């Protein structure tokens, strides 16, 4: 999301205070916002932000289901940390998907997930004067079709074709973000570097986010993919526990490792 869009959104959302509720409970998580927060209920004021939020949801590997838009009229230094701490206390883990930080302000796209929690995607925008949060619950992975008991038959029915387990790696398109290590105050931190689409083809070929082709192989359980060639060459992909359709790719490097986090599209 561009800073020009962020500035427009601040103006529109802050101007919609007549349609906002002060000091509210969140409709997406079991928590209250700070007293200075207002929830925007005027849907015409959030049309443009909603479009940017849908892009964040796609980057997180899903689509928005139920959304919520919150404004803090005055920015505070510790507001983002307070927000993340509150989510951590609720059992969520935040994954940064994309961010920009310059003289015009800070904008971040993120994903939230936790054991037994409905995953969420969100945008956090801070222009130094105010803060806007837009977030939404994400659609779950494709549900398995319901099955009915088989009707009695005069002869044994053919055995059903086994279907891959939800933890198995599937072919298809994945939206991916890359992080790389950087030494900060004596410890390694992973910072966002780039994003793109990885295509895993059923014949063992793959196309990396930069359009370069390579190959991958799967173990017998389809829980580990090993890549050769392309940007993921030398790396391995494994499913992220508890998150259907999500993969973590780790590529060893001389300085440690590079990481890609991918969600099936």
Total domains in the fold of the chain: 2
pTM: 0.50
CATH of the domain at 122: 3.30.310
Please tell me which residue, 153 or 68, carries the higher pLDDT value: 68
Q: Which of 123, 138, 153 is the last residue of a domain?
A: 138
Average pLDDT over residues 36-65: 82
213 and 111 in a common domain: no
233 and 122 in a common domain: no
134 and 182 in a common domain: no
> In the prediction, which pLDDT does 4 show?
43
15 and 106 in a common domain: yes
> In the prediction, which pLDDT does 144 show?
31
Identify the CA nearest to 79 among candidates 42, 33, 147: 33
151 lies in a domain? no
Residues whose CB falls within 8 Å of the CB of residue 240, separated by 6 or more in sequence, listed in order: 246, 247, 248, 261
105 and 10 in a common domain: yes
**Rounded-to-5 percentages of helix, strand, coil across the chain:** 15, 40, 40
253 lies in a domain? yes
- In this predicted structure, the answer to whether residue 21 has a pLDDT above a threshold of 70 is no
Taking only the tens place, the pLDDT of each residue in 168-193 is 888 888 888 776 655 555 554 555 56
16 lies in a domain? yes
Q: Using N-to-C axis directions, what is the helix angle for 47-59 and 3-15, rounded to 10°?
A: 130
Q: Which of 51-60, 137-146, 177-186, 222-231 has the lowest mean pLDDT?
A: 137-146
Q: Cα(49)–Cα(69) distance, rounded to whole angstroms?
A: 9
156 lies in a domain? no
> In the prediction, which pLDDT does 136 show?
94
Q: Cα(208)–Cα(184) distance, rounded to whole angstroms?
A: 29
106: confidence class by pLDDT, cuts 50, 70, 90: confident
> In the prediction, which pLDDT does 78 show?
81
53 lies in a domain? yes
Average pLDDT over residues 218-238: 90
Mean pLDDT of the chain: 76
145 lies in a domain? no
- In this predicted structure, the answer to whether residue 236 has a pLDDT above a threshold of 50 is yes
32: confidence class by pLDDT, cuts 50, 70, 90: confident
247 and 129 in a common domain: no
Percentage of the chain exceeding pLDDT 90: 17
CATH of the domain at 230: 2.40.128.80
Q: Report the first-to-last Cα separation within the chain, whole angstroms.
A: 20
> In the prediction, which pLDDT does 33 show?
84
> In the prediction, which pLDDT does 34 show?
82
- In this predicted structure, the answer to whether residue 215 has a pLDDT above a threshold of 90 is yes
Average pLDDT over residues 79-95: 87
23: confidence class by pLDDT, cuts 50, 70, 90: low
> In the prediction, which pLDDT does 164 show?
43
DSSP element (H, E) containing 176? strand 172-184
CA distances from 17 to 8, 39, 52, 125 (A): 15, 9, 21, 18
135: confidence class by pLDDT, cuts 50, 70, 90: very high
246 lies in a domain? yes
199 and 96 in a common domain: no
243 lies in a domain? yes
Q: Which of 90, 114, 138 is the last residue of a domain?
A: 138
Which residue shows structure tokens 């993921």? Answer: 232
Domain carrying residue 39: 3-138
Q: Which of 138, 156, 185 is the last residue of a domain?
A: 138
191 and 128 in a common domain: no
Taking only the tens place, the pLDDT of each residue in 139-170 is 865 333 333 444 444 555 555 544 444 468 88
> How many CA atoms, within 13 angstroms, populate the side-chain half-sphere of residue 78?
4
99 and 7 in a common domain: yes
């Amino acid at each position: 999301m561009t800073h020009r869009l962020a500035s427009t959104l601040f103006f529109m959302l802050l101007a919609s205070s007549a349609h906002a509720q002060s000091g509210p409970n969140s409709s997406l998580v079991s928590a209250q916002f700070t007293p200075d927060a207002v929830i925007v209920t005027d849907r015409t004021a959030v049309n443009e932000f909603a479009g940017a939020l849908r892009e964040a949801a796609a980057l997180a590997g899903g689509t928005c289901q139920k959304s919520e838009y919150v404004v803090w009229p005055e920015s505070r230094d510790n507001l983002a940390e307070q927000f993340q701490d509150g989510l951590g206390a609720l059992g969520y883990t935040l994954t940064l998907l994309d961010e920009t930080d310059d003289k015009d302000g800070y904008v971040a796209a993120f994903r939230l997930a936790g054991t037994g929690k409905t995953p969420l995607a969100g945008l956090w925008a801070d222009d130094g004067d105010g803060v806007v949060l837009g977030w939404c619950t994400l659609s779950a992975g494709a549900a398995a079709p319901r099955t009915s008991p088989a009707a009695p038959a005069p002869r044994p029915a053919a055995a059903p074709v086994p279907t891959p387990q939800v933890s198995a790696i599937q072919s298809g398109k994945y939206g991916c973000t890359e992080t790389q290590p950087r030494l900060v105050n004596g410890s390694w931190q992973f910072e966002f570097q780039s994003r793109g689409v990885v295509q895993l083809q059923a014949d063992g070929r793959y196309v990396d986010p930069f359009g370069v082709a390579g190959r991958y192989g799967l173990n017998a359980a389809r829980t580990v993919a090993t890549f050769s060639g392309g940007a993921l060459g030398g790396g391995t992909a494994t499913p992220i526990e508890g998150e259907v359709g999500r993969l973590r790719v780790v590529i060893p490097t001389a300085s440690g490792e590079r990481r890609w986090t991918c969600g099936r599209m």
